[in-house]
Structure 1
């Protein structure tokens, strides 16, 4: 979003004040989907021949490339994101993962998400959003190269309930995967036990702009996730 705003502002200057397109006016512009401040600016730029159709399409395509996972931030219900989207996404990447049942594990009671060759796997997901300021998830969504501080909160983690954990981090332009053994989760200095009173052994972990480099050793490209799961389970 920052890149798009910067590009449009550079072009608005070329109008030499012919139209009122300052931030205060645009912040108060009455809009109804699909019409918004960006459509309003772009229509003026095209009408005044500041932007050609070809240039507009270049801006549009570049924006789509930079924001190919922005739709994930439109999911507002935590359970829909954390369970429905995240689990489906990982299963699409790795169709070898099975949905657990007592047929695989007689002790299974819903405590983990996937099963693979005797390995219980728990999936957690979070999105990179701007730490400061208000607004919706969509408005606070960050790109992987953003300089803004961000928080990613992985909640309700129970290291004793699975052998391997796959954490999915979503930015506007990329998705990253961290694979950790249960011991690596339990012993991580950022793992905070006791997220909710009475939930013994359950905690949460924050990945932030200030500590994300410490998790690079757990980063795995999509094609190596299954191999890493097998290795971490040993």
Structure 2
């Protein structure tokens, strides 16, 4: 505020007074974006198990097309895990069968593009280069599990993993029997038969039952 030469307050001049500021519009609080109601843990587990039961893991046989040039490193009895790559392809990484990362075991290696002896195997085709249109080999992959192992993401070949049975993400517990013993699986289990060798049946039992 300016002052007169004598130090007093200047008189109000209506002709030189600044224009009043326009009033600010009244703005209320922003409308919150509606959030979906969170699912309870039992509901999530029910949804996951419903998917497992509906698919029956039969889609395992359709998994996996790799354009890896490392096919010469694989052989029956070795174990590996799968990862997603750019372009929709998948690749494999070998690992010790005792490693928690080794989710699949190679039961058989076939020449070219070939079906496996049992529909529960994952048929993983290997190509010599990214431009190859003909598979060099086909790996017949079985779940690498022992009785008592628990799994999460059982319907995703690149995300399936072994976890503690007390882990909230655990979806299924494996029960493994030698031979073709699907009768060992209950009606709520998903039964997978592998001709091997060794021939075995894997029952994937929903977690929370007999653990």
The two structures have a TM-score, normalised by structure 2, of 0.25
The structure with the greater share of residues assigned to helix is 1
Give the structure with higher Rg (CA).
Answer: 2
